[in-house]
Structure 1
Amino acid sequence: MIPYGKQDISEQDIQAVVDILRSECLTQGPAVPAFENEITRYCKVKHAVAVNSATSALHIACLALGVGKGDIVWTSPITFVASANCALYCGAIVDFVDIDPRTYNMSVESLTEKLVQAKKIGSLPKVVIPVHLCGQSCDMAKIYTLSKQYGFKVIEDASHSIGGKYLNEPIGNCRFSDITVFSFHPVKIITTGEGGMAVTNSLLLAKKMQLLRSHGITRDKDEMTHPPDGPWYYQQIDLGYNYRMTDIQAALGLSQMHRLDEFVKKRNILAKQYNQLLLDLPVVIPWQQDDCYSGMHLYVIRLKLGQINKTHCQIFEGMRSAGIGVNLHYIPIYQQPYFERLGYNGKNYPNANFYYSEAISLPIFPALTQQEQITVIETLQIELKS
């Protein structure tokens, strides 16, 4: 089976982890701040907070921005459920903004229309979470302008996007957002096994997230309610969580950062090759904005079902049966049973519904060989024409 994505682990990565296993600190040691520092350098951002997953990063990002019971948070319906769940964890109300039919990211036009209507009825969002689907940035400059006009905060869900660029600047510099979140799951662009990172230019937000990732506990005497009882002393000053990243994970991530640009370059080369190989097939290839350099985490095609004698599901099953590990990113969140029970439905998201009816993710990862890519295309040709 050729998977849709997988990690690329080098001997250098293995040695970095072994070095930590032989050290005194498996967690809460020097590797985590070293990894954070490398992320801040690469992304040209001031602060980074490493955690055990991107879901955790989204959660503490919402909390740091004051999201609580009764607040409203908007995100894209075409994303993993964590982009919405993070707000529900805080007691907030979640709603969705339809996607752009070409980029599959949050539609600025739909966002603008929704904001106009929300202002009229007094239900503006406290936070908007644009998702950089597949690795391509949302139109953050326009979203930022809307945030100033309507008074909401912005969390970029850049789980797919580290190593990508927007307006020739690294995704994650937080020029147009309050906080950006990355994922380091094994199928992502770099990996720490499991892990995530929240980055920001705000010292206040960084300190809040640092506190929340470790039980709400501080050892900083300036943050305590009274002078410490001794050098052993700490205080829990907030209700936090055990969201820490281990030094084992951080060492892997730090080592992987040395190959980040190489990974993203290879993914973009593979995408261009797919584009050429798919030209004569009844599919829609990914559309890339001129002002973006995608991390290319995913390569999503859309089937022109009107020109094919099979259903979406039949094509998907045929590819899987032939050993091609295609996937579908993503099922619209409002279709999940949990959200349906909360009263969500898809009537207001025609672009998301249409996308879901046609989309298939083809395998893309740095170690994908030319022969494997040809096999993917030849298999797809057979499925589409049979």
Structure 2
Amino acid sequence: MTQKSEAVPETSPIPYGRQHITEADIAAVVETLQSDFLTQGPKVEAFERAFADYVGAKYAVAVSNGTAALHLCAMALGVNEETRVITTPITFVASANCIRYCGGTVDFADIDSATALLDIERVREKLESKPKGYYSGLIPVDFAGNPLNLEKFRKLADEYGLWIIEDACHAPGGYFYDSHGNKQICGNGQYADLSIFSFHPVKHIATGEGGMITTNNELLYQKLLKLRTHGITRNQELMEENHGGWYMEMQELGYNYRIPDMLCALGISQLHRADAGLARRKGIAKVYDEAFSDIAGVETLQTNKVAIDESGDTGHAYHLYVILVQNRKGLYDFLRERNIFAQVHYIPAHTMPYYRKLGFKKGDYPEAEKYYAECLSLPIYPSLTQQEQEYIIEKVKEFV
């Protein structure tokens, strides 16, 4: 009986991430279901305005998911067969796949071992190894919610004539401080041409599926609106002809990447408590930090220095809390046997069979591969209880 109790404890499964749906969320969706619009209605634009205000951007375009957001960004920037783009191997593959969707070429640069973020010096080395104009753009990722120093990436991009898509799926509400001491919120459009977010259930703001693109560029914004809906416009000022009130024009080849009103209603409701959820994530991360600070055999990723102010407050958005251990597979299995469903983020993109067919191979990016061999994401979400977190810490310590 003792062994059985240890292997299958009397606790509910603890996932690495979980959505938090309240009665207010449910009421917002029900209200929309009872309205005249289920899709292409007023909630879409309301969600876009609210989210743009939240991150401090001029424009926002809501779409069906984060991958659609990346794809539309690549299309809006004119990615084609002649385009070459650099991104990080430690990301969900969509960050790279969006370039392949448009026929472009993906390249990778290794990560900073301390933060697991795209290493700007490795990017610079790659750029310097080719003539100017060889590469077209960069897709840096605010991995785990840890904000990149986009000011430095912007300076490098301008030096080589590159555009930037910021993959901020992990970092709504995250921020860093620029060289003038100004707070720069992830997705505010000050340094990236376009930024993208995801509203998958494990993200800070959950709509089931959904995504958002933010930008300060009006031309890109108008192009995104068309591409989201089959390349069609109803804006009379943009039409070549006008046959009447029914008339619409398909001006280029786009996609059906729209998002329904009911999901936007949920997004608006979730956005109302986004700050509280982010504060809770930071609180959970602080407890983990303190618990593992003096435990031999457990390392944690460092927060980017530009995301920490003088008081010690951090702009890290903590979508993930990652630890590094030598026997990652052993700890992963040990925790699962005890109803703790930690996860691995991510398998290096360049080691996937698809990208190996394009010429990449294991050994190309040693820091990313070393990180992958040791990384494990522990549960972190606003409704994680103190008791559950103490149990997780206890079991990690027991194993190591």
Deviation at 1:143, TM superposition (A): 0.5
Alignment of 1:1-386 (within 5 A): 1-119=13-131, 124-167=134-177, 168-226=183-241, 228-281=242-295, 282-292=297-307, 293-303=315-325, 305=326, 311-384=327-400
- 1:121-171 Cα shifts (integer Å, max 9, x gaps): x66321100000000111211110001100010000000000111212321
Asked if the contact 1:58–1:86 (Cα under 8 Å) also holds between the matched residues in 2, the reply is yes
Q: What amino acid maps onto 1:151 in structure 2? A: G
- Residue-by-residue CA offset, 1:27-85 (whole Å, 9 max, x unaligned): 00000000000011111111000000010000110111111112101111000010000
Distance 1:79 1:43 in 2: 22
What CA distance in whole angstroms lies between the structure 2 residues aligned with 1:204 and 1:314? Answer: 51
RMSD: 1.0
Query: Contact 1:181–1:197 (CA<8 Å) still a contact in 2?
Result: yes
Q: CA deviation at 1:103?
A: 1.2
**4+ runs of 1 displaced by more than 2 Å?**
none
The CA distance in 2 between the partners of 1:314 and 1:248, in whole Å, is 42
State how far apart, in whole Å, the 1-side matches of 2:130 and 2:334 are.
Answer: 44
Deviations 1:86-113 (A, max 9, x none): 0000000001011111111110111111
3-state secondary structure, aligned to 1:207: helix
Which residue of structure 1 aligns with residue 310 of structure 2? Answer: none
- Counterpart code for 2:254: G
| C-alpha contact 1:263 1:366 (8 A) present in aligned 2 | yes
Q: CA deviation at 1:312?
A: 2.2
- For 2:379, give the aligned amino acid: P
The answer to whether the Cα contact below 8 Å between 1:108 and 1:139 also exists between their aligned partners in 2 is no
Count of paired positions: 375
8 Å CA contact 2:133, 2:161 repeated in 1: no
Is 2:321–2:378's contact at 8 Å kept on the other side of the alignment? Answer: yes
SS in 2 for 1:118: coil
If the length of structure 1 is used for normalisation, what is the TM-score? 0.95
- Tell me the distance in 2 between the aligned counterparts of 1:72 and 1:326: 35
What is the letter of the counterpart of residue 261 of structure 1?
A: D
CA–CA distance in structure 1, aligned partners of residues 73 and 304 of structure 2? 28
SS at 1:191's partner residue? coil
SS in 2 for 1:297: coil
* Deviation of the 1:345 alpha carbon: 1.4
Secondary structure in 1 matching 2:245: coil
Rounded to whole Å, the distance in 1 between the matches of 2:216 and 2:130 is 29
Letter in 2 for 1:201: N
One-letter code aligned to 1:159: C
State the shift of 1:224 in Å.
1.6
Query: Does the 8 A contact of 1:284 with 1:302 survive in 2?
Result: yes
Instruction: State the AA in 1 paired with 2:250.
Output: Q
The residue number in structure 2 matching 1:308 is: none
Once residues 200 and 28 of structure 1 are traced to their aligned partners in structure 2, the CA distance between those partners, rounded to angstroms, is 21
Where do 5+ consecutive residues of structure 2 fail to align? 1-12, 178-182, 308-314
Residues 86 and 123, structure 2, Cα contact 8 Å, conserved in 1: no
Paired letter, 1:290: K
Q: In structure 2, give the amino acid aligned to 1:349.
A: Y
8 Å Cα contact 2:351-2:362 kept in structure 1: yes
Residue 322 of structure 2 aligns to a residue in which SS? strand
Aligned residues of 2:52 and 2:214 also touching (Cα < 8 A): yes
CA contact (8 A) 1:180 1:200 kept: yes
Q: Is the 8 A contact 1:318 1:383 kept in 2?
A: yes
Q: Deviations over 1:337-363 (max 9, x none)?
A: 111122211333111011001100000
Q: Distance in 1 between matches of 2:328 and 2:292?
A: 17
Query: SS state of the match for residue 14, structure 2?
Result: coil
Say whether the 8 Å CA contact 1:124–1:150 is kept in structure 2.
no
Q: 2 CA distance for matches of 1:142 and 1:39?
A: 25
Report if aligned partners of 2:166, 2:192 keep a CA contact under 8 Å in 1.
yes
Structure 1 position 229, deviation (Å): 1.1
